[in-house]
Structure formats: C-alpha cells, structure tokens
Amino acid sequence: MQEIQPYLMFEGRCEEAIGFYTGSLGARLEFLMRNDETPEPPPPGMMPPGSEKKICHAEITIGDSRIMLSDGMCSGSPSFAGFSLSIPVPDEATARRTFDALAAGGQVRMPLGKTFFSPCFGMVQDRFGVGWMVIIPQEHPTA
C-alpha cells in the first residue's frame, strides 16, 4: 500500500492557506493549477461564477510530507472536523516556533507541555480550522 496523503478543501481560501503554510511552516509549493487552466472545463453549474482563478489543485510539501489542497466548490466555508494533522519536530524550540506559527489567528486546543507520551506536545486549530498536533516523538516501549 502506498502512503496516505491528506487532501484539504479550503472552499475559496486555498491561495491564502498556501501563503500561510509557506510562511509559517516553510512549506514548498510543488504544483498549482487554477480552474481556468484545466484541460477540460468543469460541468455546468459545478463552480460558482467568478471562481475561474480559484485553485483547482495544488500540492505543497512540509518536510517529507505532501499535502494536496484545493478551493473545492468555493463555498466560502471550509470545514475540517474529525481529524488533525500531526507534525513531529526534533526539539522544544522547534515545537514552540511551529506551534506559535500555527496558532497565529487560530485557537490553542491544548497548550504545549510535557505528557506521558511526549516531552512536548500541543494541539492547535489554525486560522482555516485545520487541526494540528505538534509533537516531539518519544519511542514507544516494546511489548
């Protein structure tokens, strides 16, 4: 089985999200195609008027991980519920920097701190509503 890659629909805010993740997490933009650049037009009525320059598909990498993004149906209301993206970091300084960058304009769900499973772990929802878990991984005891 191949790796699983998240595909996030930002419902009209994808370009803003790409700018946020490149600036705050050092993400690299690998690919971007706008709705008016697709080889075939979308079916009639699928996209709202004025969405021609919105992003049909984009790909960014954060570290070794690829995340795919889109403006989706451009409804204006992204909804990211029931999951979080976990971002492992090597040390507390990187954890703090990453956590604070993601929290800018978002909401802290669990402040960074020591837990039984990590020397430094915290949860944040970024300004787009995407949940993130920042963690310094700790080796699990073997059974």
Structure confidence at residue 46 (pLDDT): 83
Q: What is the mean pLDDT of residues 47-52?
A: 89
Summarised one tens digit per residue, pLDDT across range 80-131 is 999 999 999 999 999 999 999 999 999 999 999 999 999 999 999 999 999 9
> What whole-number percentage of the chain has pLDDT above 90?
83
Closest CA to 106 of 90, 91, 122: 122
The full set of domain ranges for the chain reads 1-75, 80-143
Q: DSSP assignment, residue 54?
A: S
43, amino acid identity: P
Query: What CATH architecture is 1-75?
Result: Roll (3.10)
**Model pTM?**
0.91
Domain 80-143 has CATH 3.30.720.110: yes
3-state percent breakdown (helix, strand, coil) of the chain, nearest 5:
20, 30, 50
